[in-house]
Each structure stands twice: as structure tokens, then as C-alpha cells.
Structure 1
């Protein structure tokens, strides 16, 4: 005869169901609410568009409802009307073209020089020890602080604006690329040495291919920063470009044109960002960066 102690789990009916309850699976949550849960491409597009719809809805409600004077913040319809005037009467397309050319000129020049130097620093620790203190020092210097000097050295032409973007992008790219290359997996390097690879072969066949997706991601991020530098460069001593248009509109208190110029910059940046992501996925299909 089996004896059951008083107070033991088997002594009460409620205790008999305790174990099954404890073993029951946790309640299922919506996939979007789970940490790091993937989201389909369609859902990503829908959620992204939904934010813009809500943003413009709140903007329209605030301005059209009279909560904010239109002198300080134009409503969406006024902004769209001013945008049409910019394209039809003020050659805004030419301003966009000049700004894009300046960004690409300064950014491409910075990337062409910074990526090899960053790879060199990341691969060889002696080079990193030599260059890294100066690069880190320059990285904290605001590019806008160089504008007075650049105007003295290069005038107020295109060279000055391209150099502002170059200075703002170069040191960031160098240090970020060096960190990316220096974080290579040691087991892959040791395996390559075991198979007879030389030091230059390690750089060409292990470090660069392994870091290439992250280097491309670094360039994508810094390109966004380059757009902030070009607007600063165009605010001073410029006769064309989106920044020049924004300065003129500010003098006339035309917030519709100012907002339209800012939105155009955001749209161009968004398109370039998506293009970068698509190119990275095509060039580096093995990458985990999405």
C-alpha cells in the first residue's frame, strides 16, 4: 500500500495539475513582438509607409488646425505648391544636380583614399599605432570649422565645398574600416597561414573579402553624413545648390521652400541608401547585413 505524506503534492487535487501547468508551453506572442524576430519584406514596406502617412497626418493637423502659425511652419499643401514653383520658376533641378555632384565628388575622393589606408591600418598593427592617434584626433574636428580656412585656401568655388565633404568623411571612413578589418576571425588567418599563404595573401584573400560587406556598410553610413556636410558648405559663399536655396528662403521667411528642400534631401538620401543596400546584397550575398 502506497503511503502519501500529508502536505505532499500528491495529497491534493490542485497539486496534481501543477506539473502539467508548469510544463505547458508559454503563450504564443505576435511574431513582430518577439525580440530579433524577422519581418517580411512586404511588412517592412507597409510599416515604413505607415509611418510617413502618420507623420504627414500629424503635420497637416497641427498646421491646418491653427496650432502653429504658418509663418513658422508651412502646411503640406503650401509646401507642395512652393516645391512646384521651385522647379518651374527657380531651376531647382539645377540646384539638386549641383548638390549631388558635390556630395559624390567629395565622398568618392574620400573613400578612394580612406578605404586603402583603413585596410592597411587594420591589417598591420604597427601602421595602426602610427596613424590611429592622428586620425582619432582629426575625427573629432567639425568639418564646418574648416570652412573659413578652406575659403582662404581654395576660394568660394567648388573645390572648397568638395573639400568640406572630404574632410568630414575621410577620417570617419579610415577609422571605421580599420576597426572592421582588425576584427577579422583569427582562426581563418591561422588556417590561411597553415595552408602556406603569405602576409600579402592573407590581406588579399582573407581580410579584405571577409571585411568587404562591413566596409560597404561603413560607406553607406558615411554617405549619409556627407549630406550634412554639403548643406553646411553651401550655406556660406554659394550661388547654387539646395543649401543656397534654403538660405535664400530663410531670408524671405518662406518655410514652405525650406521644408521642401529638406524633404528633397531626405528623399535623395533614402534612394541612395536603398541603392547601397541592394548593391551590397548583390555583391556580398554571404553577408548577414540586411
Structure 2
């Protein structure tokens, strides 16, 4: 038995593995260290400085309460530096009342239920909005004109997606402008036959003008665009329109911040 153990030790010492180097452990098994000091922006195909761009955007309201909006926006952007620019935007909106207002169980539906009660007083004429049932943020936006500052801190071929040969631009906008408003009125006859026996006035396309009942507002937004050609980009952004309005919440008129938020998407055309 002892001879067998000695023989085993001799065989092991004579084998190539006996003098092998210890295992090596690599801190970077996948070679990622090559990108350790690489910049986030790998390449800029179309420099932004001195660039003029015209964008055609479709706008749809989000976070709707009593009204929702759809419309279009035409915007011209000019970049003074690689990251800073200015823009002028003109938009046309068309608003509609939401189900909170128009459903049978909504604001107008509840008013109509009371009108159909035989013991109710006559309800002919205007039903909503009146001094007794007015709600905040009810008026619809008709037209918008904005002057904006644009900050684009990120532009170029992003390193983390360097296999995709596209240029991305992330941007933030802030500015001020004016917008027009309109108010849709619900009315009925003196003897309504159902909760839907009412008519809306002022809700047609173009009703209310462009800048009637004008208010001054502030604008903020954030977005991104992808340049698919030297002269064409796909653009998407979220933009908010905020202004001071007054409403009687029960203790007389109070000033509050009215907010309308939009998602906008469309095409950008590089003019120069």
C-alpha cells in the first residue's frame, strides 16, 4: 500500500500539471474596459449650431378633466450654439367635452335629470355652465402662439446604442405665449323628454375664433427627436400650458394655476 502511494506521488510530480501556473482571474472578461473612457456622444453627424428646422406636429391633450383637445402645431427652431436655441410656435386646437360632462351620469346628465322631475321649475334656456354649476378648467383652448427657449444638452450618435446609426437629440423647452379660449354652452327646451334632450352651442370646429378671450401663459416641455435623414427627423414631446385663472371655489373668486398638458409628435424638416 505504501509503495502504491509513493508511486502515485512520483507520477503526479512528473505530470505537466504539477508545474502549471495558478489560474488567472480577469477583472474585465468581456473587454468592456475599452469603453471606460469613451464619451457618451460617439459622433455628431449634423452639427446643431446655426441650424434652422421647421416642425409639423400633431397635438393631443393628456390628463383631461372636463375638456380634451386635438390639433396641430407649426414650429420653427433655430440653434444659436450647439446646445441653445429659440423657437416660435403657432398652433390651432379643437376641444371637446369629456364624458365627465356629457354622460347621463355626468354634469349635464344630472342637471337634465332634475329638469325632468315634474316638481322642478322650468329649465328652458342655458343649463350649463351657469353661476351655480360652473367648474374650473372648463374653457377650451382654440389657438396658441409661443416664443420658446430651447436647451438641447444631448445630441449625436449615442454610444450606448452605437450599433444603430442614428442621431438622437434630447431637449427641454420653456417660454411664454398667448392662447385663445371658448366656452361651450348646453341648453334645452322647457320640457325635456330625456337626459340627452339638450344641444351644445359653440363646440364646432373654428367656433370661438383663434385668440378670442385671450390669456397669457407659460410653456414648459421635454422631448426627443431622431434624425433619420440629413434633412428629416421624427419628433415626440410632452408640453404643458400653464396660466393663472380665477374661479369661485366657495369663498369668492380665487386665483389658481390652470394646467393643460399635451403629447405632441410629428416630423421635423431641416431647412438649413
Q: TM-score normalised to the size of structure 1? A: 0.22
Q: Larger strand proportion, structure 1 or 2?
A: 2
Calculate the TM-score normalised by the size of structure 2. Answer: 0.23
**Which protein has the larger Cα radius of gyration, Structure 1 or Structure 2?**
2
